[in-house]
Amino acid sequence: MGKARLSQKRTKKHRSSPKKKKGERTHTVSIPDALNGGKVTIGTVTLAEIKKAAKIYSGESGHLPESQKQRQLVRVPSKGQRIRFLKEAADAIAAKEALALPSHGGRPWKCEVKVLDSTDSVSKSVVSKSGGKKKQGPLFRWFRGKLELACLPHILEKVEVMEIDDIKKCNYLSDEGTDEEDCDDLVVSKNALQERAISTLSSLAWNDPDHHIPLVERIWLSPDHVKYSTRKAAMEHAGELVRRDKLIDRVLHGRGAKGSILRPFKPTKAAALEAGYYRFLRDGLWVVGQEEDWQDEREEVWLRRQERIARVKKDRGEAARVKKEATLQKQKAKANMEKGISAVDVGLPHKVITNDTVVTLLDSATCSPTCSKSDTLSAGSVELQAMESDNDSPPDLKSRRLTPSTHWRLTQQQIDLCYDAAVEHYEKVMYTVKARALFTELADGFDLLRERGRGRFDMELPVFDDPKFSFLTDLERASWMPVVRTILGEDVALVHKGVFLSLPGSEMQVYHQDGPHLTTKYQKPCHAVNVFIPLVDLTRKNGPTEFCLGTHILDYEYFAKEMVETPLAKAGTPIIFDYRLGHRGLGNSSADCRPLVYLTYSPSGGKEFKDSVNFSRKRYIKIGELVEKPLSREERARRRREVIV
């Protein structure tokens, strides 16, 4: 009985301490590390230790695992845990890759990263290079209570960052200059990844011949939704996007290198077309005349800045002259003292320019840009005012106002003709509804007029087919066709035309896109554009259209308040946008109606573009022939007088 019990105890003891698998034994590696006696331990971490460390760093009580107390690299035998840690490493690499390339139109680069565990798929060539011995899985290290891929800092170090120091866009419209602190806030997220610094442990894991370096696969996705499989191709495209942004900044916003403001200039039509096209590709919007919108306000800003620069240069020159004069007086006084001659004997003034005066003037020369001349010159600098010459006065800066362009727009006569036709059509349709008691049918919509929200009507005008409106429908006469052909190509077709009428008190539309993407697998070029031509000057109150820039790009269709732009175009100025761009008409709180001509273009022969939702008359009731509105008493009297004459 005693021997049997002893045998059972030995069996239980044997079961409670199983043998470690081959390859999981802890061993040491000698490396030049003075802090740890020249040795680093490579061991195996258990799932229990991983959970225990997570509890400790989350605030619960406990003691750190032994592998964290020592400078130790560990293997993770659990394949599921390895995959989880490699996924976290992939996220860190993806974040660094995305920040390495500049954003475009408010959209960052994206990078899809996969860190593959190659333990189970080792090629024969790799095995032969390691002396016929199969390599083990990647090594990990403890980082802030979590296990992390040990060689991650070396992988992050190889990420090439694209330098764009010459693109500085902070406060470019400010008359007070650029605020450096605001610009520093933009790169805080870049510095966060630098905490994974190269260390002795990471170098050992990177160079260890007995353990794998995980395979890293990357796919770059550009801000305009184009995929690249190599960093070289991605950086070339990023450079092209930066070049486009520079051209847009210069022509459409008046910004030069490092965000410097430019004096207004008259861009050529070719430059306006190129910059406008790049802006359309980036934002999905093109406002005719946008290259001149910044110039009126910028002229005043530029003049104020040039005057300030001239004033500061003048103050610095005065301070330099004062300093030179003080030095000469000191030298003369020293020479006279050596000869034993006093200042009174040689007739020098009793009051000389002192060092305090020079310091005061030097400080005033570097004062705030808004300080005036009277503030710059101190009370003790009387001598400086005496030395001031007429040649030091600021240059005469004259304002030059550029004449606004009129190309690619409607003339005033054409605007009036369209306005009268739109109002007359609306009155005819509404009189027909009243005469035939079609109020119920009005809610469903007619072929010539349908309601797009309260107080907002979409109208088709048969009169637009008349030759006198060929300036709208003729592809050779329409003044904005150079812009449309720049976007869609030479062969284009007019798909639809009409008028949007927003009455006083109309409500704001729901944010929408006129048409979806033709495919969601990749970003296709623009397949249709809308041209909005307001017939009155747009203001904040009469219901302009609000656009959400960049929503024509796949994965960015959602509404973002910070990307909103509301063009306040003058009457007859076309607003051209991608058919997929998100937008909405704002409410009309003014006392006047706001008519707007719209035209939709697509490449000719484009069989893939069919908008049966917006442009199908089958959905609506045919109103038939419109009832003529009876003439007023004054109109009848006028016609009788014409007949008599």
**Tens-digit pLDDT profile for residues 444-481:** 888 899 988 889 999 999 999 999 999 999 999 999 99
Backbone φ/ψ region at 101: left (φ over 0), alpha (ψ -120 to 50), beta: beta
307 to 320, 378, 385, 617: CA distances (angstroms) = 20, 21, 20, 62
Q: Considering only CA atoms, which of 507, 499, 509, 503 is closest in space to residue 597?
A: 499
Q: What is the 3-state secondary structure (H, E, C) of 575-613?
A: EEEECCCCEEECCECCCCCEEEEEEEEEECCCCCCCCCC
pLDDT over 60 at 192, yes or no:
no
In contact, 502 and 594? CB cutoff 8 Å: yes
What count of other Cβ atoms lies within 10 Å of the Cβ of residue 76? 23
Tokens of 136: 């083990």
pLDDT over 60 at 166, yes or no:
no
State the Rg of the chain over Cα.
38
Give the per-residue pLDDT at 617: 66
Region of poorest pLDDT, from 258-262, 368-372, 611-615: 368-372
What count of other Cβ atoms lies within 10 Å of the Cβ of residue 46? 16
- Mean pLDDT value across residues 313-318: 77
Q: Distance between CA atoms of 167 and 174, rounded to whole angstroms?
A: 16
Residues of the chain with CATH 2.60.120.620: 412-633
Q: Distance between CA atoms of 483 and 36, rounded to whole angstroms?
A: 70
Q: Distance between CA atoms of 600 and 611, rounded to whole angstroms?
A: 11
pLDDT digits (tens, 9 = 90+) for 352-363: 444 454 444 444
By three-state DSSP, how is residue 450 classified? strand
In contact, 494 and 600? CB cutoff 8 Å: yes
DSSP 118: G
Q: Distance between CA atoms of 254 and 259, rounded to whole angstroms?
A: 9
Q: Distance between CA atoms of 473 and 497, rounded to whole angstroms?
A: 8
Q: Distance between CA atoms of 620 and 393, rounded to whole angstroms?
A: 73
Question: Which residues is 569 bridged to in the sheet?
Answer: none
| CATH annotation of 412-633 | 2.60.120.620
- Mean pLDDT value across residues 132-155: 82
Tokens of 153: 């800092």
Question: Which residues is 456 bridged to in the sheet?
Answer: 502
The one-letter amino acid code at 508 reads M
In contact, 109 and 221? CB cutoff 8 Å: yes
Q: Distance between CA atoms of 8 and 139, rounded to whole angstroms?
A: 40
pLDDT digits (tens, 9 = 90+) for 400-441: 566 778 899 999 999 999 999 999 999 999 999 888 888 888
Q: Distance between CA atoms of 237 and 249, rounded to whole angstroms?
A: 18
- Mean pLDDT value across residues 489-502: 93
Q: Which residues contact 173 (CB under 8 A, 6 or more apart)?
A: 261, 301
Beta-sheet strands, E only, within 203-252: 215-221, 227-228
DSSP 101: S
What count of other Cβ atoms lies within 10 Å of the Cβ of residue 462? 10
Core vs surface per residue 597-609: b (16+ CB within 10 A) or e: bbbbbbbeebeeb
In contact, 95 and 193? CB cutoff 8 Å: yes
Read off φ and ψ for residue 518, nearest 5 degrees. Answer: -70, -25
Question: Which residues is 576 bridged to in the sheet?
Answer: 286, 531
pLDDT digits (tens, 9 = 90+) for 562-580: 999 999 999 999 999 999 9
Q: Is the dihedral of CA 339, 341, 346, 347 positive or negative?
A: positive
Tokens of 129: 């290079």
pLDDT over 70 at 177, yes or no:
no
Task: Give the global pTM.
Answer: 0.75
Give the residue, 266 or 337, on which the prediction is more confident. 266
Give the per-residue pLDDT at 132: 52
Give the per-residue pLDDT at 397: 53
Read off φ and ψ for residue 40, nearest 5 degrees. Answer: -125, 135
Q: What percent of the chain has pLDDT over 70?
A: 71
- With both helix axes pointing from N to C terminus, report the angle between 355-365 and 295-339 in degrees, rounded to the nearest 10: 170
Region of poorest pLDDT, from 189-193, 194-198, 243-247, 595-599: 189-193
Q: What is the mean pLDDT of the chain?
A: 77
In contact, 274 and 268? CB cutoff 8 Å: no
Is 104 exposed, middle or buried (CB count within 10 Å of its CB: 0-12, 13-18, 19+)?
buried
- On the CB side of 538, how many CA atoms lie within 13 Å of its CA? 23
Q: Distance between CA atoms of 442 and 168, rounded to whole angstroms?
A: 54
Residue owning tokens 């400086």: 384
Give the residue, 379 or 254, on which the prediction is more confident. 254
Q: Which residues contact 138 (CB under 8 A, 6 or more apart)?
A: 82, 86, 117, 119, 149, 150, 151, 205, 211, 212, 213, 214
The one-letter amino acid code at 204 reads L
pLDDT over 70 at 534, yes or no:
yes
Sheet containing 215-221, strands listed edge to edge, beginning at the edge strand earlier in sequence: 110-116, 215-221, 227-228
Sheet containing 583-585, strands listed edge to edge, beginning at the edge strand earlier in sequence: 564-565, 545-548, 583-585
Give the residue, 555 or 373, on which the prediction is more confident. 555
CA angle 18, 24, 28 (to 5 degrees): 125
Q: Distance between CA atoms of 540 and 531, rounded to whole angstroms?
A: 20
Q: Which residues contact 588 (CB under 8 A, 6 or more apart)?
A: 455, 502, 503, 504, 505, 506, 541, 542, 543, 594
